[in-house]
C-alpha cells in the first residue's frame, strides 16, 4: 500500500503513511479527494498544525491520481503553493 502511494511525486514513506492514516490505500482513491479537507483532517488527527507544504503535496497527489493529461510542471508539489486542483 505505502509503496504504491510512493509512486506519487513528492510522496515518501512518511507522507505515504499519512495518506494511509487518512484512509487512502491506492492512488486511484485520491481521484475524488479534497486536498484541503485531507490537510485539515490530518492536522486534527495529529493534534497540531502541520506545515503547509503537506497541503501542496496533497494537491499534487490528487492531480497525479486524476485521469487528466498531466503537465510535468504540475507533478512537482511546490508548484501547488498558490493553486487548487479542480478536476473539471
In the chain, what is the greatest distance between 2 CA atoms, to the nearest angstrom? 36
Calpha distance 88→82 (Å, rounded): 18
**pLDDT (tens digit, 9 = 90+) per residue, 25-78?**
999 999 999 999 999 999 999 999 999 999 999 999 999 999 989 999 999 999
pLDDT digits (tens, 9 = 90+) for 54-65: 999 999 999 999
What's the full length of the chain, in residues? 88
**E strands along 29-88, which residues?**
none
Q: Grid coordinates representing 8?
A: 506519487
Write the CB contacts of 60 (distance below 8 Å, at least 6 apart in sequence).
8, 9, 10, 74, 75, 76, 77, 79, 80
Amino acid at each position: 500500500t505505502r509503496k504504491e502511494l510512493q509512486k506519487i511525486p513528492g510522496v515518501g514513506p512518511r507522507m505515504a503513511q499519512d495518506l494511509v492514516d487518512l484512509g487512502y490505500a491506492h492512488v486511484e482513491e485520491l481521484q475524488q479527494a479534497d486536498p484541503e479537507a485531507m490537510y485539515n483532517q490530518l492536522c486534527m488527527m495529529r493534534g497540531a498544525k502541520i506545515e503547509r507544504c503537506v497541503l501542496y503535496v496533497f494537491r499534487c497527489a490528487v492531480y497525479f491520481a486524476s485521469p487528466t493529461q498531466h503537465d510535468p510542471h504540475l507533478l512537482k508539489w511546490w508548484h501547488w503553493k498558490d493553486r487548487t486542483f479542480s478536476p473539471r
